[in-house]
Amino acid sequence: MSNIITVEDLNLWYGSTQALHHVSMEIPEKSITALIGPSGCGKSTFLKTLDRMNDLVPGVRIEGTVRYDGRDIFAPDVDVNELRRQVGMVFQKPNPFPMSIYDNVAYGPRTHGVRNRAKQVLLMDEPTSALDPISTSKIEELAIELKKQYTIVIVTHNMQQALRISDRTAFFLLGELIEYDDTERIFSTPSQKKTEDYITGRFG
């Protein structure tokens, strides 16, 4: 399985505050990667870096490399609008549109003309945080279905959700990537004590 996103030594500042510290990871194509960690640890900041949504934040400064399909997304000649056509974002608050759950989740990439392309990323920022258990289950089923066509990166505080649907899991803490591995291994035999403490509820 090839990697559609490669992140190397990513650092991000909001003004004088550093929000991400030396993050490096590879995200496989047509997989689900879960980003877990306590609130304010950098998960959503990292997610928004993948489609350059952080460019819209005043005072942001970014160092390091993020490659999408082999190309540096911060290169001067990159068309940011075209990047966002290929990298869709589902935000934390659900859309109020009268659509099915499937259509609401797929709304972002569809409006940008991204349908059934071989290489495409769907970013989800806590898409089920405001949903009831039945709707949450439908979103999870949808994510697994979409994995056939999309690469999905999802921010979640729900450990069981990460375990149920993701292939790989990244644990963030205080802006650092503490551990990144196959999801089953992260939850059964984590290599870092901080990861073990978080997933077992000792903190966070």
CATH value at residue 184: 3.40.50.300
Percent of the chain with pLDDT over 70: 85
Q: Establish if 61 belongs to a structural domain.
A: no
- pLDDT at position 202 is 80
Domain count, the chain: 1
Residue 98 has pLDDT above 50, yes or no: no
Cα 180–Cα 175–Cα 11 angle in degrees, nearest 5: 95
Closest residue by Cα to residue 69 from 2, 124, 11 = 2
Residue with the bigger pLDDT between 99 and 147: it is 147
Cα→Cα distances 189→6, 21, 93, 182, Å: 25, 25, 33, 10
Note the pTM of the prediction, 2 decimals. Answer: 0.87
Q: Establish if 176 belongs to a structural domain.
A: yes
Average model confidence (pLDDT) across the chain: 88
Q: pLDDT class for 116, splitting at 50, 70, 90?
A: very low
Domain assignment of residue 111, given as a range = 29-52+79-199
Closest residue by Cα to residue 111 from 131, 130, 95, 125 = 95
Residue 161 has pLDDT above 90, yes or no: yes
Q: Establish if 6 belongs to a structural domain.
A: no
Percent of the chain with pLDDT over 90: 72
**Weakest-pLDDT range from 93-102, 122-131, 134-143, 166-175:** 93-102
Q: Establish if 189 belongs to a structural domain.
A: yes
For the record, the structure tokens of 29 come out as 């194509």
Q: Establish if 90 belongs to a structural domain.
A: yes
Q: Establish if 5 belongs to a structural domain.
A: no
Q: Establish if 119 belongs to a structural domain.
A: yes
